[in-house]
Structure 1
Amino acid sequence: MVVQRSIPAVDLSEETQAERLARKTREAPYVPIGLAGCLGAVLYGLYQYKNRGEMSTSVYVMKFRVVAQSAVVVTLGLGVGYSMIDKYILPKFQTSASKKEEPSA
């Protein structure tokens, strides 16, 4: 017996950066949020760098690195938490709600 498998359609044409960003946004909606957060952190860091006072540049960069890494860890934790809630907890509520709506015979 020969089993035929369906081959997914792959478009081999070149995609522009805007098309790639749009595709990534559809596949993973957190991509633009992450990019906006990264841009915001960089702009905030540049603004704070001008107002750092007597702090040396190397100490400021190390401090900013710790803040940026903390933001990444918090964002990853929130994303994982949301994914777990969406995948495991919300379906249980939806099935229990649909059972309540069904009339008993």
Structure 2
Amino acid sequence: MKKKVPFEPSKPPVIEGLSPTVYWNPESFKEKFLRKTRKNPVVPIGCLATVAALTYGLYSFHRGNSQHAQLMMCTRIAAQGFTVTAILLALAVTATKS
């Protein structure tokens, strides 16, 4: 009895509904980052706002201004929420287009 092989290792697998593409010129990290930033500029803005609030909050905490540090930590959480919401909205828009 001959055992059936699920796929031929020398050929790519055929998946229904998927047409594989071959990239002759793969993107660098910088090119991919710029392309995705142009596509959805709100996410990097949210990330920068999160980092800025965290940095300034830690600086305020180090200086002993705990009230301002607490305000910056709340701001950081709001900026993180903004960023996550932007990512989810971008995913939803992408899903509805396809």
Q: TM-score, normalised by structure 1?
A: 0.42
Task: Please report the TM-score for the alignment, with normalisation by the length of structure 2.
Answer: 0.44
Q: Which has the larger share of helix?
A: 1
Higher relative contact order (CA 8 A, sep 6+): 2
